Chain A
Amino acid sequence: MADRTVYLDNAAATRMDERVLEVMEPYFFNVYAVATSEFGYSMGLDARDALDSARGVIAGALGASREEFIFTSGSTESSNIALKGVTRALDDKKGKHIIVSRIEDFPVLHSARALEKHGFRVTYLDVDGEGFADLDLLGDSISDETAMVSIQHANQEIGTIQDIEAIGRICRDKGVLFHTDATHTFTRVPLDMREMPVDLATVSPHTIHGPPGIGGLYIREGTPIAKLMDGGFQEFDKRAGPENIPGAAGFARAVELVTQEENDRLKAMRDRLIDRVLAEIPDTSLNGHRQKRTPQNANITFHFVEGESITLHLDMRGFAVSTGSACFSRSLEASHVIMGIGGNHETAHGSVRFTLGRYNTMEDADAVVQEAAEVVRKLRKISPLGKNKK
């Protein structure tokens, strides 16, 4: 119906950069061998070199050593390895208690629930109205029984950036391991393991115009971690299975291509979008913190209207966005993030997430504001709650 597509769901997946494909291609057609041991044949050694150098680039961006970074199939697997691998490795050395925030993305949240079924006690840490974890409560919740803490670097829906330095320090002081899901911050928000008291971090290129199907996990040297997938001795014997060499090469290239300039540009578009919506569309409110949010994320509740109706209208006009409305989700449950920050079904019902990426322009931000204004006006006209509103 629309002759253009303005893609604003970059937190879910991104258009891959051609320059990423360029470095991946040889590993499909020329150097397609597995990464062999150092005594292997030359094509296998070439693959091994490619893997090492990709690992070097990504570890470097994290301020980590190569040995501290393993490749996985994506951020879901990374977070599963972090939570299940650490708790399994600690076994009886620590108690059966873990702490996660209430607004974690599903890989962490549902790994925690899975551990609950295996006898773990889980504290779902409260967050405030902007999504910040309650640090006093965190300190109070850690006991001798606590095996680990997992609190995201930034939120997938509302973009709120946690003070992971303070969180990590609390965990260090109490001698508890700390994992953070950095899926939505890696390369966009500084994360240097030489300074950050973080023991494990989930990262992925799917949010930064890299390839799908690959992710990574930072594991600080000395962190106990059990192997979840049994097989070969790949990835320092922490994750079995022949490596995804083209994916690794693409992941590294995607990391190299993110620049400070780009992050500033995203932030400028984000700010324009937020400022214009709040100023020009009545009865709207921002979800999350105004400044302490990822450069690519804007999340706004349009009161008196429902999110799936907004997204469908926007889709028909060529804009791809997502919503926290129950009507949009596979489970028909309202966003646990919006509910977690103290919102109700109504706030979640009309919440829309706009996430920007490399291929968006300021014109896109302006266009979506204009279209959203029209759509919301149209829907409010037929809403029993919004008919007297503009």
Chain B
Amino acid sequence: MKFPYSEKVLEHFKHPRNVGEIKDADGKATVGSPACGDMVAVYIKVEPETKRITDIKFESYGCASNIATGSIITELAKGKTLEEAKKITWKQASEALGGLPKIKAHCSVLAIDGLRSAIQNYEERHGLVREHEPTTEDVVRKRLRHVMNPLTGLDVVRTNLVGDIEVKDGSVSVTVDLPEDHQFAPNIREEIAEKIEPLWDVKKVEVYFKG
């Protein structure tokens, strides 16, 4: 029998490690959205002194690569300090899994995003964000790379849906090249707000549709 993935991927897919929710998580994040395809939630428990990840769990609404990557990153991150865990890359996860198909990078990179976002969430909640980088157009654009264009399953920046971005006095406005009444307009608006609002100096996010 021939399957489209490595033995290791199939193993993690069949028996994912560290699955579930941590009710009293110190840091948590959900990335992706059902409207756009895959979705991953990551929960971490952190030892306050050493900043080590003592426990980590994940949940996935995704394909085989997504589930397997979620599983492997929990193994890779467990016991690591937050700084170490932040540096885990998609490439490392892919190597640990014996290789992932390139075309599935999008589905699997989401799990890495989930881990980094959970760490960020911990840092934000525990006042650990030391350097406050002021929000600029570039910062916004970078964050929007994590908002998916449901029409293609690729991000809104790469698919050229994001038009003008304006950052002024704590208010951010983003123009999206889609009609206001487009079926995915509400999802995209919500996702953009979700990604930009947590920035420390942002007070207001406005999304305009023009297409």
Interface residues of A (CB under 8 A from B): 1-2, 304-309, 312-313, 315-316, 325-328, 332-334, 344-346, 349, 381-387
Could you show 6 A-B contacts with beta carbons less than 8 Å apart? A1-B1, A2-B1, A309-B63, A327-B37, A332-B103, A385-B39
Q: How far is the CA of A292 from the CA of B37 in the complex (A)?
A: 30
Please name all residues of chain B whose beta carbon is closer than 8 Å to the beta carbon of A325 when the two chains form the complex: 63
Report the minimal beta-carbon distance from B2 to chain A, rounded to whole angstroms.
Answer: 10
In addition to A308-B63, A327-B37, A382-B60, 6 A-B residue pairs with Cβ atoms within 8 Å of each other are A315-B3, A382-B20, A384-B40, A385-B34, A385-B39, A385-B61
| B113 CB–A CB distance under 8 Å | no
Q: How far is the CA of A334 from the CA of B19 in the complex (A)?
A: 27
State whether B67 touches A309 (Cβ < 8 A): yes
| B35 CB–A CB distance under 8 Å | yes
State whether A308 touches B64 (Cβ < 8 A): yes
- Which 6 pairs, one residue from A and one from B, show the smallest C-beta to C-beta distance? A327-B63, A308-B63, A384-B59, A384-B41, A383-B61, A382-B19
State whether A316 touches B10 (Cβ < 8 A): yes
Please name all residues of chain B whose beta carbon is closer than 8 Å to the beta carbon of A1 when the two chains form the complex: 1
User: Known interface pairs A384-B30, A384-B39. Does A305 touch B63 (Cβ–Cβ under 8 Å)?
Assistant: no
| B106 CB–A CB distance under 8 Å | yes
Q: How far is the CA of A386 from the CA of B21 in the complex (A)?
A: 12
| B163 CB–A CB distance under 8 Å | no
Please name all residues of chain A whose beta carbon is closer than 8 Å to the beta carbon of B60 when the two chains form the complex: 382-384
Please name all residues of chain A whose beta carbon is closer than 8 Å to the beta carbon of B63 when the two chains form the complex: 306-309, 325, 327-328
Q: How far is the CA of A325 from the CA of B30 in the complex (A)?
A: 21
Interface residues of B (CB under 8 A from A): 1, 3-5, 10, 13-14, 16, 19-21, 30, 34-41, 59-67, 103-104, 106-107, 150, 152-154, 183-184
Please name all residues of chain B whose beta carbon is closer than 8 Å to the beta carbon of A333 when the two chains form the complex: 152-153
Report the minimal beta-carbon distance from B179 to chain A, rounded to whole angstroms.
Answer: 16
Q: How far is the CA of A30 from the CA of B153 in the complex (A)?
A: 54
State whether B10 touches A332 (Cβ < 8 A): no
Please name all residues of chain A whose beta carbon is closer than 8 Å to the beta carbon of B184 when the two chains form the complex: 344
Q: How far is the CA of A384 from the CA of B22 in the complex (A)?
A: 12
- Residue of A332, A384, A385 with most partner-chain B CB within 10 A: A384
State whether B59 touches A387 (Cβ < 8 A): yes
Q: Which residue on A lies nearest to B183, using beta carbons?
A: A344
State whether A312 touches B3 (Cβ < 8 A): yes
Q: How far is the CA of A269 from the CA of B208 in the complex (A)?
A: 50
Please name all residues of chain B whose beta carbon is closer than 8 Å to the beta carbon of A385 when the two chains form the complex: 34, 39, 61
Q: How far is the CA of A187 from the CA of B35 in the complex (A)?
A: 39
State whether B106 touches A383 (Cβ < 8 A): no
User: Known interface pairs A312-B3, A326-B153. Does A386 touch B14 (Cβ–Cβ under 8 Å)?
Assistant: no
Q: How far is the CA of A47 from the CA of B183 in the complex (A)?
A: 57
State whether A382 touches B153 (Cβ < 8 A): no
User: Known interface pairs A1-B1, A312-B13, A315-B3. Does A327 touch B62 (Cβ–Cβ under 8 Å)?
Assistant: yes
Report the minimal beta-carbon distance from B102 to chain A, rounded to whole angstroms.
Answer: 11
Report the minimal beta-carbon distance from B36 to chain A, rounded to whole angstroms.
Answer: 6
Please name all residues of chain B whose beta carbon is closer than 8 Å to the beta carbon of A384 when the two chains form the complex: 21, 30, 39-41, 59-61
Please name all residues of chain A whose beta carbon is closer than 8 Å to the beta carbon of B1 when the two chains form the complex: 1-2
Please name all residues of chain B whose beta carbon is closer than 8 Å to the beta carbon of A313 when the two chains form the complex: 14
Please name all residues of chain B whose beta carbon is closer than 8 Å to the beta carbon of A306 when the two chains form the complex: 38, 61-63, 66
Q: Which residue on A lies nearest to B107, using beta carbons?
A: A327
Q: How far is the CA of A359 from the CA of B23 in the complex (A)?
A: 49
Q: How far is the CA of A387 from the CA of B61 in the complex (A)?
A: 10
Report the minimal beta-carbon distance from B189 to chain A, rounded to whole angstroms.
Answer: 15
Q: How far is the CA of A386 from the CA of B30 in the complex (A)?
A: 14
Q: Which residue on A lies nearest to B4, using beta carbons?
A: A312
- Residue of A1, A308, A381, A386 with most partner-chain B CB within 10 A: A308
State whether B3 touches A349 (Cβ < 8 A): no
Report the minimal beta-carbon distance from B180 to chain A, rounded to whole angstroms.
Answer: 18
Q: How far is the CA of A385 from the CA of B61 in the complex (A)?
A: 7
State whether A346 touches B106 (Cβ < 8 A): no
Q: How far is the CA of A312 from the CA of B14 in the complex (A)?
A: 10
Q: Which residue on B lies nearest to A382, using beta carbons?
A: B19
Q: How far is the CA of A384 from the CA of B32 in the complex (A)?
A: 11
Q: How far is the CA of A346 from the CA of B5 in the complex (A)?
A: 24
Please name all residues of chain A whose beta carbon is closer than 8 Å to the beta carbon of B41 when the two chains form the complex: 384
Q: How far is the CA of A312 from the CA of B12 in the complex (A)?
A: 13
Please name all residues of chain A whose beta carbon is closer than 8 Å to the beta carbon of B40 when the two chains form the complex: 384
State whether B34 touches A349 (Cβ < 8 A): yes
- Residue of A304, A305, A327 with most partner-chain B CB within 10 A: A327
Report the minimal beta-carbon distance from B56 to chain A, rounded to whole angstroms.
Answer: 14
State whether B14 touches A345 (Cβ < 8 A): no
Report the minimal beta-carbon distance from B13 to chain A, rounded to whole angstroms.
Answer: 7
